[in-house]
Amino acid sequence: MGKRVLVVVDMQKDFVDGSLGSKEAVSIVPAVVKKARDFDGTVLFTRDTHGEDYMETQEGKYLPVAHCIRGTDGWELIPELEELKDSRKVQCFDKPAFGSVALAEALRAMYEAGELEAVELVGLCTDICVVSNALLIKAFMPELPVSVDASCCAGVTPEKHAAALETMRSCQIQIL
C-alpha cells in the first residue's frame, strides 16, 4: 500500500438515510464506495458515536435529534462500507465529537515514521465532521498535504457544503 490515506468520515446509516439523512448524502454513496474500494493506500473510517445520554449532552441540546447511538442500526456504517471494512481490514475510529483526536494522533504517528505523505477525506457532513477532521489533521501536521474530494461529500445543506469547502480552501486544504 502507498503512503496515502483515505479517511471516510461518518458514512453511517443515520447520516445517509436515517434520522439525519438527506438526498445529497444518499447521492454520494456510489462515489464514496468506489473511491474506498479502489483507493491505493490505507483506508480509515470514522464513526460518530454517542451514548444513550445523547440528549443530555451539549451536542444533544444544540441538535436534539438522537443519532449514531452506539449499538443501534443507525450507528452502523452503510452496508457497502461495512463489507469493505471487513474485506480490507479497515481500522475504524469511533469519535464522540466532530473531530477525532485519536485519528489525528494515529496519522501523526504514521507521518513521523515516514509512512504518510498525503491524506484525503470524503464523507459526511462536509460542514461538521469533514471540516473538523480536515482542520484537526492540518493543525497536527501543517506540512502534510490534506485534500477533500467535494464530489464524495455532502453537507447539511448544499449551501453549508459550499461554505465548508470554501473554509477548508482558505486553510490550505486542497479541494478536489
pLDDT higher than threshold 80 for residue 1: no
CATH T-level fold of 4-175: Rossmann fold (3.40.50)
Q: Where are the domains of the chain?
A: 4-175
Confidence band (pLDDT; 50, 70, 90) for 2? low
Phi first, then psi, for residue 32 (nearest 5°) are -65, -45
Query: Of all residues in the chain, what percent are helix, strand and coil, respectively (each to 5)?
Result: 45, 25, 30
Confidence band (pLDDT; 50, 70, 90) for 70? very high
pLDDT higher than threshold 70 for residue 176: yes
CB within 8 Å of 56: residues ≥ 6 apart: none
pLDDT per residue as tens digits for the range 92-120: 999 999 999 999 999 999 999 999 999 99
Phi first, then psi, for residue 91 (nearest 5°) are -75, 140
